[in-house]
Amino acid sequence: MARLVAIVALLLAVSGCRGQNTDVASSGSASGSDAPAEVQLESFDFGGDFELTDHTGAPFKLSDLKGKAVVVFFGYTTCPDVCPLTMSKIASARHALGPDGAKVATVFVTVDVEHDTPAVLAGYVKSFDDPLIGLTGTKAQVDAIVQQYRAAYEITPTQTSALGYQVSHSSYTYLVDPHGQLRHVFRDADTPDAIASGIRQVLREGGA
């Protein structure tokens, strides 16, 4: 319970995408170790299924991906640093899994629904070598899912952005197992090896 409370508190912290680079530290293994230690998986009482619109304009349910490990991230397409860095780390983790990488899906949920239409998301996902599902919806839909996953974001007007506003958002990466259960929440400091380790564990548990 204490660990859950600590993680919930961390989820409520907001990390802004305002050109600030995140200092990524090793979190899965000791320095010089050949393989990261296994992450501690849990079964959380938040997260779960949701429905949005994907980057092709088609309806999407998270439960459509049952049987796969799913990595979920909340961000926005014009984010200059945290979002592309995280997508890169997830891609590196998938590649480290070898053939098992095909058993993993990456889901990017935008929190900037006014700008990030399906067409914009379609261009965004194509900019990455790794397969990526971009999702959007109405503000009410996305807000409900943000709350469901205990994430956070804020959009504030500014004259320093071409869009006329800036977006701050929590920067946690959520690992959902093949049964649709949220099992781990990764932080900025977690490495691709740590993410790959968590994915391996949920795939092994799920018999994938």
- The pTM for the full model equals 0.82
Q: pLDDT tens, position by position, for the chain (208 residues)? A: 334 333 334 443 434 454 333 332 333 333 334 555 688 999 999 999 999 999 999 999 999 999 999 999 999 999 999 999 999 999 999 999 999 999 999 999 999 999 999 999 999 999 998 899 999 999 999 999 999 999 999 999 887 777 788 999 999 999 999 999 999 999 999 999 999 999 999 999 976 5
One-character DSSP codes across 132-145: -EEEE--HHHHHHH
One-character DSSP codes across 17-28: -SSPPP-----S
Residue 142: predicted pLDDT? 98
Residue 207: predicted pLDDT? 60
Contacts of 182 (CB under 8 A, 6+ apart): 43, 44, 46, 47, 48, 149, 174, 175, 176
Of the candidates 58, 6, 13, the one whose C-alpha atom is nearest the C-alpha of residue 170 is: 13
Residue 129: predicted pLDDT? 84
Of the candidates 125, 104, 93, 107, the one whose C-alpha atom is nearest the C-alpha of residue 62 is: 107
Residue 158: predicted pLDDT? 83
Residue 36: predicted pLDDT? 57
| CA 162 to centroid of chain Cα atoms | 26
Residue 17: predicted pLDDT? 54
User: CA of 119: how far to CAs of 115, 122, 172, in Å?
Assistant: 10, 5, 25
